[in-house]
Structure formats: structure tokens, C-alpha cells
Amino acid sequence: MKNTQHPPGSFGLPIIGETFSFVIDPYNFANERYQKYGPVFKTNLLGRPTVVMIGTEAIEFLLSSHMEYFSWREGWPQNFQTLLGESLFLQDGEEHRRNRRLMMPALHGPALANYVATMEKITADYLKQWEKQQEFTWFEEFKKLTFDIASQLLLGTNSASENSRLSRLFTQVTNGLFAINPLVLPFTKLGKAIAARNQILEHLALVVKERQQNPTKDAISLLVQAKDEDGNSLSETELIAQAVLLLFAGHETTTSMLTWLCVELARHPEILQRAREEQLQFVNKGALNLEQLGQMPYLEQILWEVERLHPPVGGGFRGVVKDCEFNGFHIPAGWQVLYSIFVTHRLEQIYPNPESFDPDRFSSQRQENKQSPSGLIGFGGGPRVCIGIAFAKMEMKIVAAHLLRSYHWEILPNQSLDPVRIPTNHPKDNLRVRFSPL
């Protein structure tokens, strides 16, 4: 007979379930229940019965081997559907496969090589500015830097005032994604986010028209020209929806990782020193290129460790579209599943001494992640792993390489670096630093 036993756990209060404890601290919420119930447990989040999945076997099941039992569109909360519209993130099945194939070339291969110089130039401009400022709040500054990079490379925007207007609008969209109040009024977070999204759409409609007439080397031009195997391309509405998603997904996450990278390097002078030494081989070799970026194994290890200990995205939602069974428990269609990146990254059985920042756990001798391939999932995993992973890693390496070669920074006193995990993981006081050339 088919197993009908649901995973252990509690649905909490009527209607709101356990949503409040989850929103206050998603990491502790999932970790406490993991300790009590194990890698799969039930709860109720955002008004829906939910199964939380943790650990490499559960992740493998959800993101790869049984992915057809789950829907992205049915999983993410309503605000995501309202604000991120018909974009890759919320598509499923054939529609998703076709669009992902069309979008891949803009974020991989030869396109990436074309992006290096722009990333380096924008980084150099910010470094000069930071040298002059001497003291600043890095999370805010990285947000500007990564947005400039995303909007120049993805949309070809060159005007500083246009960039900062768009960046402000995107911050409102992000705040709306996680708003609990569902009312759409001019003063609610969701109402403001929808108004901001409409302004972004108006801007993007103009950009798409322009690129259709005069394609350049930015990602949107590549998307305008992309064709599937039947010779069809993305419609204007599809292009705009995908561009909103790329801009959104492409900067807050990278900002979060860069901020935590700088926190950890400041906290660990010996790691900083080793990383600086690795950079010495490139000094006097001119502008960076893809080949050089591939020759920084220690920096790569550091970035993996930042991804592990400070994942910008704490987890992902899915809707269950077909009944399935995991670890002997029944997961019914109509429920939702949440996989926890935070908790999986701190499992002692994968990463001994998980709270310590130790890039050598990824060295060729130790390779802690290789024993559990689904144990490092800061960019998701399986066939729908983050489409921007190569773009993001390249950008972070370029910024890090320049910081390591030429700058010194100190964390200013009297601030809290406690992690705030929603909307994107960042230190509470946003990392205020004193910054100077070496």
C-alpha cells in the first residue's frame, strides 16, 4: 500500500501557521526543526502546508532527480508572481527550457569575455571614489557598483542619473517581494513596488525598441537577436520581463557576497595575506582577462567559503504538482516545498567545524564539497542552477582582485555585523569601513 504518512513537524497556528518565526530568522527556524525532526519536516508558511528539505539527498531529489514533481511558478509567493511577471524564474516545463536556451548565450562563453573590460573599468572608477571618501558604508556602495555593472552590461545604460533612478526603483521592487501586507495602496510596500515596476517596464520598453533597431554588445541586444531552433525569438513583452529579472537577480545577490567577502577578509588577516600573494603574479600584466581570472585558485576557494557561510539567498520555494515520497514520507500535491541553503551549508557531516571561515576546506587535498556534490548550493543546483553564476563569479573576482592588489580596509567600531537574512543576507549595519591604498 502507498505510504500516506506526512513528514513530522507542526502546522502551528491556524492560517498564519509558523510564518512569523520563519520571517524573523529563517536560519534558526529551519535549524531548530532540523535538529528535532531531521532532513524533512512539515510546517505551514505563508498560508500553505509546507515541507522543508535539508541536506544533500533532499536537495538532489528536489533540484535534480525528481524535479518534474515540482513547479517554480506554483512555489514562489504571490508577490514574486506580481513583480517578476512572466520571467524565467517563474516558468516551468517546455516554456522554461526554450527561454533558458535563448538566454544562455548572453551570460556565457564569448559574451562573458566581452564583459570583462567594462566590469574592470566600472570597478576602477568606484575604487578611485572610495579612496577619496576614505570612510563609507560598503553594502550601499557595492549595491551601486553591481547595479552599474548589471545595467551597463545587460541594458547598455550609460547615464549615471538613469542608473541611480533605476537602482532606487529596483530597491522598491525588492522590498515589495518580501512584503507581508498584501494590500496594494500607494503607501504600502507592495503598492510602491508595483508602481516602481511599472516605471522600470516603461524604461525597458524604450531600451528594447532601440536595441531592435540598433543592436550593440549588451545582453539585451543578444536577447533581441536570439532565435530558437524553429527560428522564433522572444517577443517584446517576453524580452522586457526577462530583462527585469536579470537586473533584479543580477545585483543584490552579488552585493551581498562581496560585502561578506570583505567582512571575512578583514577578520582573517592571514587569509587576506595569502590571497594578496596570489595576486602578485598578475601585477604589471595589464588589464585582466578570462584566462587570468581562471588562474586564481585560492580566491576561488575563498569565494566558495563565502558562498557557503553567507549565502545571499537562503533557500528556494517549489509547488508540489504530483504526489511524491521522500525518505518514506508522503508529500502531497498542492503543498509547497522549501529547500534550505543556509542549513545545508552548515551541516557538520559535510563541513566539519561548520561555523569557522576556512577556505582550505575547498583545497584540492580536502575537497569537502566533492564528497557531497549537492552540499554547496548558494547558486541553486541541477538543470536550473543560477543562469548568472559565471557572470557573478567573474564580477566578484574582478572586484576582489583589485581590492587585494592595492587596498587596505578596516571595519569601523561600534557597528553590528549580525546577519540580516531577508531580503538579501547582509550585516545589520551594512559594513562601515575605513579604506585606503596600500
Q: Return residues touching ligand HEM (CB under 6 A).
A: 88-89, 100, 107, 245-246, 249-250, 253-254, 257, 312-313, 316, 378-380, 384, 386-388, 391-392
Give min distance, CB of 431 to ligand HEM, in A. Answer: 16
Residue nearest ligand HEM by beta-carbon distance: 388
Give min distance, CB of 111 to ligand HEM, in A. Answer: 11
Q: Which is nearer to ligand HEM, 44 or 256 (CB)?
A: 256
DSSP-derived secondary structure for 118-158 = HHHHHHHHHHHHHHHH-EEEHHHHHHHHHHHHHIIIII---
Determine the Cα–Cα distance for residues 146 and 264; give it in Å rounded to an integer: 19
Determine the Cα–Cα distance for residues 144 and 170; give it in Å rounded to an integer: 11
The Cα-based distances of 226 to 31, 154, 196, 201, 323 in angstroms read: 43, 14, 28, 21, 37
Give min distance, CB of 173 to ligand HEM, in A. Answer: 15
Q: Which is nearer to ligand HEM, 386 or 431 (CB)?
A: 386
Q: Which is nearer to ligand HEM, 22 or 192 (CB)?
A: 22
Q: What are phi and psi of 363, to 5 degrees?
A: -70, 165
Within a 10 A sphere around the Cβ of 222, how many other Cβ atoms? 22
Burial of 337 (0-12, 13-18, 19+ CB in 10 A): buried
Q: Which is nearer to ligand HEM, 7 or 316 (CB)?
A: 316
Helix (H, G, I), strand (E, B) or coil at 282: coil
Q: Which is nearer to ligand HEM, 412 or 420 (CB)?
A: 420
Determine the Cα–Cα distance for residues 58 and 122; give it in Å rounded to an integer: 40
Q: What are phi and psi of 282, to 5 degrees?
A: -100, -10
Give min distance, CB of 95 to ligand HEM, in A. Answer: 11
Give min distance, CB of 282 to ligand HEM, in A. Answer: 23
Q: Which is nearer to ligand HEM, 278 or 395 (CB)?
A: 395
Alpha carbon of residue 1 to chain centroid: 42
Determine the Cα–Cα distance for residues 236 and 224; give it in Å rounded to an integer: 8
Q: Which is nearer to ligand HEM, 293 or 392 (CB)?
A: 392
Answer for the pair 105, 222: CB distance below 8 angstroms, yes or no.
Answer: yes
Q: Which is nearer to ligand HEM, 194 or 337 (CB)?
A: 337
Q: What are phi and psi of 418, to 5 degrees?
A: -60, 140
Q: Which is nearer to ligand HEM, 239 or 386 (CB)?
A: 386
Q: Which is nearer to ligand HEM, 92 or 358 (CB)?
A: 92
Alpha carbon of residue 320 to chain centroid: 23
Give min distance, CB of 391 to ligand HEM, in A. Answer: 5
Give min distance, CB of 72 to ligand HEM, in A. Answer: 6
Within a 10 A sphere around the Cβ of 164, how many other Cβ atoms? 14
DSSP-derived secondary structure for 314-328 = -EEEEEE-S-EEETT
The secondary structure of residue 5, as a DSSP letter, is P
- Tell the residue number behind the cell numbers 583545497, with chain if given: 363
Determine the Cα–Cα distance for residues 308 and 301; give it in Å rounded to an integer: 10
Give min distance, CB of 392 to ligand HEM, in A. Answer: 4
Determine the Cα–Cα distance for residues 423 and 179; give it in Å rounded to an integer: 10
Give min distance, CB of 280 to ligand HEM, in A. Answer: 26
Give min distance, CB of 395 to ligand HEM, in A. Answer: 7
Q: Which is nearer to ligand HEM, 192 or 401 (CB)?
A: 401
Give min distance, CB of 426 to ligand HEM, in A. Answer: 13
Residue 337's beta-bridge partner residues? Answer: 51, 318
Provide the residue type at 385 as one letter: V
Which candidate, 405, 403, 397, 404, places its Cα nearest to that of 116?
397
